[in-house]
């Protein structure tokens, strides 16, 4: 019985609302300025440095290159200063995510933006060595010029901080610090150590 009563009331309430709306529309229109044009798409509206920082954040670069991230406690006051947890790959050894700030001794200070873009898109460092694929350069090969250079410019704009991460250490030697192990699937041979 209750349901029947409320079925009756809903249309009445709706009609009352429509009536109010019609009356409101009959009032003289207030002097409203025309709506602004749609804003430009984000990629063209953003300043390149801002976009570089944005791409680095959503690209997960912090995950490995900021201390504490792989421990669930990223230290944002040392963003991109170099990871404190490395990766161990059987056959290849221990590798640590380097300092991406423009410190000349321990970071990217002596790299040109072109060299950073080449490393991001092809994995090739200025010394000719190819970065291990733990660094996700194969996916970054799809970066447009505009985005890759925005990221390089952002890295060069960071405050330079001296922080040397451990050098690549061959398997069989003591681990130079905390690390995560990449376990190869059974029957799959790990690649050899990275060429010097
Ligand atoms: C899963 C971990 C991981 C993520 C995520 C990651 N990196 Fe790396 N990155 C590494 C490691 C490890 C190395 C060192 C590899 C080597 O030396 O072979 C490296 C190397 C680099 C280098 C070369 C620096 C040098 O001194 O050789 C650059 C530049 C770089 N990463 C930028 C980035 C950027 C930009 C992003 C985000 C889009 C990113 N990385 C995301 C792990 C990571």
Choose among 62, 68, 83: nearest CA to 155: 62
CB 131 within 8 A of CB 139: no
Choose among 81, 131, 77: nearest CA to 101: 81
Stretches where the chain sits below pLDDT 70 are 1-44, 195-196
Find the angle CA(187)-CA(192)-CA(196) to the nearest 5 degrees.
165
pLDDT at 1: 43
Give kind and range of the element (H or E) at residue 138: helix 137-140
Q: Which residues line ligand 1 (CB under 6 A)?
A: 56, 59-61, 63-65, 87, 95, 97-98, 100, 116, 119-120, 125, 131-132, 134-136, 140, 151, 194
The CATH code belonging to domain 42-74+98-128+135-164 is: 1.10.760
pLDDT at 106: 98
pLDDT at 35: 58
């Amino acid at each position: 019985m209750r349901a029947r009563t409320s079925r009756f009331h809903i249309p009445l309430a709706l009609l009352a609302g429509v009536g109010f709306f019609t009356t409101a529309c009959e009032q003289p229109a207030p002097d409203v300025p025309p709506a602004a044009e749609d804003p430009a798409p984000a990629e063209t509206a953003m300043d390149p440095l801002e976009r570089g920082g944005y791409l680095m954040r959503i690209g997960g670069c912090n995950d490995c290159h900021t201390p504490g991230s792989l421990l669930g406690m990223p230290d944002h006051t040392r963003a991109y200063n170099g990871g404190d947890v490395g990766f161990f790959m059987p056959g290849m050894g221990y590798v640590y995510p380097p300092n991406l700030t423009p410190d000349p001794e321990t970071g990217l200070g002596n790299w040109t933006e072109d060299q950073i873009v080449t490393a991001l898109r092809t994995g090739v460092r200025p010394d000719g060595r190819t970065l291990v694929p733990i660094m996700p350069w194969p996916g970054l090969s799809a970066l447009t010029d505009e985005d890759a250079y925005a990221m390089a410019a952002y890295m060069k704009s960071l405050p330079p901080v001296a922080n040397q991460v451990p050098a690549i250490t061959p398997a069989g030697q003591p681990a130079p610090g905390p690390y995560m192990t990449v376990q190869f699937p059974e029957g799959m041979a790990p690649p050899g150590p990275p060429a010097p």
